[in-house]
Chains A and B, each alone.
Chain A
């Protein structure tokens, strides 16, 4: 109940951040541009609409997640609002959990809003108003990708400043999306490259796991056992996020505020 009260308050505060609204508007604007680009390329209009829509959700979601979550804990310390919270019977884990839940609920609302606009656009633009079910999967995987990113950002926010956190989270997201590169490094002949590659590949979250845009946009590319892949990716996001949150709580438990 306490974590939910903190989460609720966090959503209210997060929704006031103008920068988040700017990214949401940019995301929606890009999605809305899909039919225009599709019009310029009539043969592949559906491909353009889908790829632009999913990319817009991913990009806007990425920035919304980072700018929302990097401030959640540091701003409480900076404004000293944390004093009146932690001096009450609130366990520090409840505080971290509440902040995470509130931050992620904000991200969820934004992705859901962009997802609705995207699906509506697809429904309008697709002959026979047929929306492929894979589109839902694409949005859902972006949603879990952002869950993992939110947990990573909250983890860093327990000890890093917002600026450092921004570069760390953004950098890890980029490296984590290059899993095919880091995977190839694990079999490198160079021992140093192999060591670094193995460390990065297995230690950093594999954000590339959630990118199925290619198979969604180009139906000829198939993922073997797609349902199992979905479940694995979701489980991966949940477990990795839980580990990051536990680490965040352990660090924050000893932090002086």
Chain B
């Protein structure tokens, strides 16, 4: 599949007026986003996500490196006909009505009437903004309505590629779910979405691939299903003889064996004598079965078996903490 965005060594450095302090906002970023995918661009606040998007759109200029968007150099005015951008914390000309605002943005694409009015109506319907709000001043819109009008302005040119910066932040649960579904539906229309978000559950749900950026540096990129691979099962077992020779046998089977308590409590179910309780973590079904057999073999008790699915949040936190040496 062709690359919708291809970034090569993109770097942005800021220096203060006296050229003494240098801040590297984006550091040698290399990334490919394929056509037709929803790509999650993840990072903490100040990681360099918005800076990257602004460079790709030609709003700021890179210190080094380059990128192509839909096969053309970034910032190229012609390619902007196929692009859309929803900035984080959108501010609009709030004296305008929702309709007039979209009409203004449509004019910037040189869309003539009556096509312009048709596009405006389609966009407003697509984002499910109530028709009674269309002719109302944007100043009186709620946060959710402003986000809807923000996405509507991004759809006005029927773009091939959308850059969405935190489209669902600060919304109530219903508006959040609705806007997430709207973003997800863009993929079905064959559009490519470059989604910068802190809502990792949303990203996990709707993105096919993600990149994690930290301090301007790309740490990890890949398919969500690959990043989330490695589901593990937590088993808590209890028994009288688990702390002796059995412990080594369990450690040979599964990588994580942690004592919860050790000869400290008596358990009525096991004859009122002190027992060990262990937490084991298995990443393989066969090993889980072997652990159960082993524990049952010494008349131990299986207290719980809980499968743990890795989440994107686990992957993100683990990746960033590892980089920070935490």
Contact indicator B105/A88 (Cβ below 8 Å): yes
B60 touches A12 (CB 8 A): no
In the complex, A235 Cα to B269 Cα: how many Å?
A: 103
In-complex Cβ contact of B87 among A5, A9, A84, A89 (8 A): A84
Which of B75-83, B191-199, B276-284, B298-306 is near enough to bind chain A? B75-83
Contacts of B61 in A (CB 8 A): 254, 256
**A225 shortest CB reach to chain B, Å:** 45
Most chain A CB neighbours (cut-off 10 Å) among B54, B59, B92, B93:
B93
Q: Name the contact of A2 in the complex, choosing from B59, B110, B157 (C-beta under 8 A).
A: B110
Which secondary structure dominates where chain B touches chain A?
loop
Taking a contact as CB atoms under 8 Å apart, the answer to whether A81 and B92 are in contact is yes
Q: B89 near A80 (CB under 8 angstroms)?
A: yes
Beta-carbon contact of B80 and A84 below 8 Å: no
Verify if B90 is at the interface (C-beta below 8 Å from A): yes
- B108 interface hit (Cβ, 8 Å): yes
Contact A87 to B95, CB < 8 A, known contacts A2-B108, A5-B107, A257-B60:
no
- Digitize A63-74: 1 where CB-to-B-CB distance is under 8 Å, 0 elsewhere: 000000000000
Asked if A89 contacts B109 (CB within 8 A), the reply is yes
- Cβ B108 vs Cβ A88 within 8 A: yes
Are B107 and A2 in contact, with the CB atoms below 8 A? Answer: yes
Interface mask (B80-120 → A, CB under 8 Å = 1, otherwise 0): 11011101011111011000000011011110000000000
Do A90 and B108 touch across chains, with their CB atoms under 8 A apart? yes
25 inter-chain pairs at a CB distance below 8 angstroms, sorted by A residue, are: A2-B107, A2-B108, A5-B107, A5-B108, A9-B93, A9-B104, A12-B93, A12-B95, A80-B89, A80-B90, A81-B92, A81-B93, A84-B90, A84-B153, A85-B108, A87-B57, A87-B58, A87-B59, A87-B80, A87-B83, A87-B84, A89-B77, A89-B109, A256-B60, A257-B59
Known A-B contacts: A89-B80, A90-B80. Give 8 more (CB < 8 A): A80-B91, A81-B92, A84-B90, A86-B58, A87-B83, A87-B84, A88-B80, A90-B77
A residues touching B (Cβ–Cβ < 8 Å)?
1-2, 5-6, 8-9, 12-13, 16, 79-91, 254, 256-257
